[in-house]
Copies of this chain bind each other. A is one copy, B any other.
Amino acid sequence: MPDLTLCECFARDGLQHETEFVPTAQKVALIDRFARAGFARVEATSYSNPQVVPQFADASDVLGALPRVDGVYYKGTCANLRAVERALDDLEAGIGANEVSLLISASEAHSQRNLKQSRADQWKRIEAMAAAAQGRFRLIGTISVAFGCPFEGVVDETSVLADVERFASLGVHHVTLGDTIGVATQAGTQRLFGAMLNAFPDVDAIAHFHDTRGTGIVNYLAALEAGVRHFDVAFGGVGGHPAKVKYGGGVTGNVCTEDFVNVLETMGVATGIDLAAMMDASLVCEATLGRTLASRVARTGLNPMLARASTHTRVA
């Protein structure tokens, strides 16, 4: 049994801001590769408006063609009720995701600029989405800029905890705290996650940190120490915050899968990831985007002290 659960975000968060369309068959092969390599959660696609995010115009096609690995959660990101309805249609058609996500900004200013909604209005949308999705999907609540906002600065931790409670009251028992702009500290990470885990023992905490300033792994290890067992990562560190948003946008994205898995396994933390399959996937991800990505382990190889050979085989 792995000690924690990693969600591989390359195929959604990673591709979100890629301007070149990745062919559907390539997306399907990637997502399936991630699941077979041992990722228990995989971001599969986003039910975005194809006019706004053409990259995910093939959301239903991807899910329709995607083989499933038992026990793996495939996430469809949903920005609004229309997206949840599309996810439900796919579910009816037998091709659905089994996890959908709901997004709130921790700060009013970020909500206005990023979601074009007040927090109050966004919560109303989330309530409608949660009501429609409840019982059909595993629901993931995400609170962005939970550790600091590019517009408002410090974010009130009490308000973040109230958001967690509100998600829980809607039946959302997996809640993500996002360090969207890479400003969290070890101490702040441990304090906020510690308070969350303490106050809401029936809610699983997920960390989704951006490695904007090279603090991703530092803070993930702090979160692990605080009891967090779910972490979002992406091959090559792709994805993350939109370039158009001030402070740290678009430059460095998610925490690199390869680098985080390497450090965990070297520490003796079991990730459940087949390391050889991971390194193969790393190559495929770079080939998919046609450029060198940010992972250092992709360049240098796994820690040679890692005695453990590749033993994981999820799929017979």
Residues of chain A at the chain B interface (Cβ within 8 Å): 148, 150, 153-154, 181-183, 185-187, 211-215, 217-218, 221, 247-248, 251-252, 256, 259, 262-263, 266-267, 295-297, 299-305
Contacts and interface: CB of A to CB of B under 8 A. Distances in A.
Contacts of A215: 217, 259, 263
B213 A296 contact: yes
A297 B213 contact: yes
B183 A213 contact: no
Contacts of A297: 213-214
A248 B302 CA distance: 9
Residues of A contacting B: mostly:
loop
Contact of A217 (B214, B252, B262, B266): B214
Contacts of A214: 217, 256, 259, 262-263, 295-297
Tally of this chain's copies: 2
B247 A211 contact: no
Nearest to A215: B263
A96 B50 CA distance: 66
Contacts of A259: 213-215
Contacts of A211: 296
A302 B215 CA distance: 12
Contacts of A302: 213
11 contacts: A150-B304, A154-B305, A185-B263, A185-B266, A211-B296, A212-B296, A213-B263, A214-B217, A214-B259, A214-B297, A217-B217
